[in-house]
Structure 1
C-alpha cells in the first residue's frame, strides 16, 4: 500500500485569521465584502488548489463578506474539490454556460447589499485582473444598480504581504 500523501496547505484556523484581518480592514474602509476572481486570491482565502485554473473559459468567484465566512460561486466541476476546503457555502452552475457563467448566482448573492447601497471591493490596480468576461461584469453591475464597486487592491496587497 502506497504511503498517504501529507496534508497540503494551512489549517482552518489560518484561513479564519486571514478572514478576520480582511474583515477588520473592510470595516475601516466601509466595504461590505470583496469579490475575488483570481487563483491567488481564491487560494489565499479558501485554500482551493486545482488545475482547473488552466482553463481560460471558466470564471471562479469567491465573495469575502464583511461578516461571516466566504461564499464560493464556481463551476459545478469544481464543487467537490471546493468542499474539501473550509468554505461551506458553495454555489455552482453547469459550465461552460456562455449565457450565464455564474452571473445570476452573483446577482442573487449581492442583491441584498445593492439594496442597502453598500460598497464591495474588487482589485482594480496594477498587476490585477478581473477573471471574467467584461460583458458579464457589465451585466452584473447593471443588475445591481445600488451596489458601489471600490478598488480593494491595496487592502489585498497589505493582507498578502504578511506571509504565513
Structure 2
C-alpha cells in the first residue's frame, strides 16, 4: 500500500505512444482517410499521452490531429499549457499553441490542415460507442471553402486499434481491479447499521484513493438493491439487518478503469441465497472459460443462455447483455448480447456480469479477463466461492 501511495501511476511511455500513432496512420491509409481529428479526452490521451487538468473547462479546447502524410501527431492546446508540454516532451507529439479560446482553437486546427487538397477526407471520433466532443463551429469551418473537406465518423477505425490491449494496458487493468476489490472487502468492516449508501460510498472512495486510484468515476452503492435503479446517485437509503450490499466499482488508475461489482449480505444467508450466489458465480466463470477469439458477441450470449437454462430462473437483469469490453473507458465494445455481430479478438479485455434478483437478494460477480486462444487470463481477483457475510 505504501508503494502505491508513494508512486504516481505509470502511463504509457514514449515508445508505446509512437506505436499507437503509427498504427492509427496505417489504419487511416487503409481507409483512405487523410486526417483524423480527435476530440474526446479518451482518444486525445490514448494517442498523445498528454495529460492536463483543463478537461474540467470547456473554454479552452484540446484537440489531437493525425495526418496520413506526416509522422507523429499534433495537439492543439492553449498557450497556458506550454510549461506542461515542456515538462513531458514526447518526440512523437507536436504541440500547436493557440492564444485565446474556442474560435482561435478552431482556426488553429484549420491552419494545420490547410495544405491538404480541397475535398480531403477528414475523420472524427464520432460513431459507435464514441460520442466525441467537438463543436458545430469546427465542423462548419472544415466543411466550408476553401477546405471543403469531406467529414465522416471514424469510430470503427479507432476501435480497430483500441480494442486490442497492450501489456501496459493489461497490467494497469489488473492493478486497478486489485485496488477496487481490496477496497470493497476491507471496506465491509466500515459498515454500521443505519449507515446510508452515500456514506459507505465515500468511505470506499477514500480507500481506493489510498490504495493508488487516481479517481473513482463510477461507484453506485445499493443496500438491499432488488428493484432499485443501479445507476442513480448514492443517497440516504440506510443499512438494515438482512440487507444485501451491491457495489459496482469504477476506480481509475492511469489510463485504465476497473468496472467490476461485488456483493455481500448483512446477517445469515438462507440456503437458497447461498445456492443462487454460487450458481451465478459458476455461470460467470464457466462462460469465461468458453470464450475464444473469433466468436461473435451473439455466440457468447447463446453460450450464456445454455448455462443459464440449467435452472428455471427469471431472465438476468442487465442492459440486455451479459458483458462488454473496457479499457480507458468504463464500457467499450463489444457488447455480449443477442444480435451482436462484433467479433471477439485475442487480447481484448472482457467483463462478464450476469445478474439475478431473486429470493430477497441480488447475485452478481462481475469478472474481468483478457481473451486468449486457450481461455481467460483473469485480471480481477475471482469473487469468493461463498456469499460474503457481514456480521453486525
Query: What TM-score comes out, normalization by structure 2 length?
Result: 0.38
Matched residues in 2 for 1:39 and 1:62: separation?
10
Matched residues in 2 for 1:138 and 1:146: separation?
10
Indicate the structure with greater helix content.
1
Q: Is residue 2:104 matched to residue 1:101?
A: yes
Alignment of 1:1-164 (within 5 A): 5-6=7-8, 8-66=10-68, 67-83=70-86, 84-86=88-90, 87-95=92-100, 97-98=101-102, 100-115=103-118, 117-164=119-166
Please give the root-mean-square deviation of Cα atoms over the aligned residues, in Å.
2.3
Shift of 1:60: 0.8
Check the 8 A contact 2:106/2:138 in 1, yes or no: yes
Query: Closer, same or farther in 2 for the Cα pair 1:144/1:127, shift >3 Å?
Result: farther
- Deviation per CA, 1:14-43: give whole Å up to 9, x if none: 111111211111111111121101110111
Indicate the structure with greater strand content.
2
Matched residues in 1 for 2:164 and 2:80: separation?
32
Query: Closer, same or farther in 2 for the Cα pair 1:5/1:81, shift >3 Å?
Result: farther
SS of residue paired to 1:14:
helix
Matched residues in 2 for 1:144 and 1:131: separation?
24
Shift of 1:158: 1.3
Matched residues in 1 for 2:146 and 2:80: separation?
27
Query: What TM-score comes out, normalization by structure 1 length?
Result: 0.84
Matched residues in 2 for 1:129 and 1:101: separation?
23
Q: Which has the higher contact order (CA 8 A, sep 6+)?
A: 1
Query: Closer, same or farther in 2 for the Cα pair 1:146/1:138, shift >3 Å?
Result: closer
Paired residue total: 159
Shift of 1:77: 2.1
SS of residue paired to 1:112:
coil
Q: Compare 10-19 and 79-88 and name the one that shifted more.
A: 79-88
Gaps of 5+ in 2: 1-5, 167-392
